[in-house]
Amino acid sequence: MLVTASRPDTSLPIDVQGELALDGPADSAVTLTADGAQLVLAAPGWANLHALGPRSLAARRRALMTAVTALRTLSLTLHVRVDGRRAFGLGEGVKTTLLARLLGLASTDIRFSNLVSLLRSPAAAPRAGLR
């Protein structure tokens, strides 16, 4: 018996409610909260956020580009908060900053000060040889 599944219509708006907690190192958790088309990823510190992504900068850039494309396709916005403060935004309706343009990322709001904070985090230092 042949079973087919219809492909979801990506032009329909997504309305999601929920919260997902991901346990991290040192008894910390990263939380993803969905409220309609708005997603918020909250991390207690830069080290926790850094631990979520790939190790190489090229792989991180590819992952960001993939995330931005998916968010724009689905008309979703992701706001990333670190230590209770807004770090950056991705997706639909986010104004692209100059730094994001230089990195080749559309619909991304990355502030230079936040990039420096990420690179100075304890998790980034061993990989970069910056102890």
Give the start-to-end residue ranges of the domains of the chain.
19-128
pTM of this structure: 0.73
Neighbours of 65 (CB within 10 A): 16
Each of the 131 residues of the chain gets a pLDDT tens digit; together they read 566 656 656 566 677 789 988 886 667 788 999 998 899 999 888 888 777 778 888 888 888 889 888 888 888 999 999 888 888 899 888 888 888 888 787 888 888 777 777 666 665 545 444 44
Token pair 């979801």: residue: 8
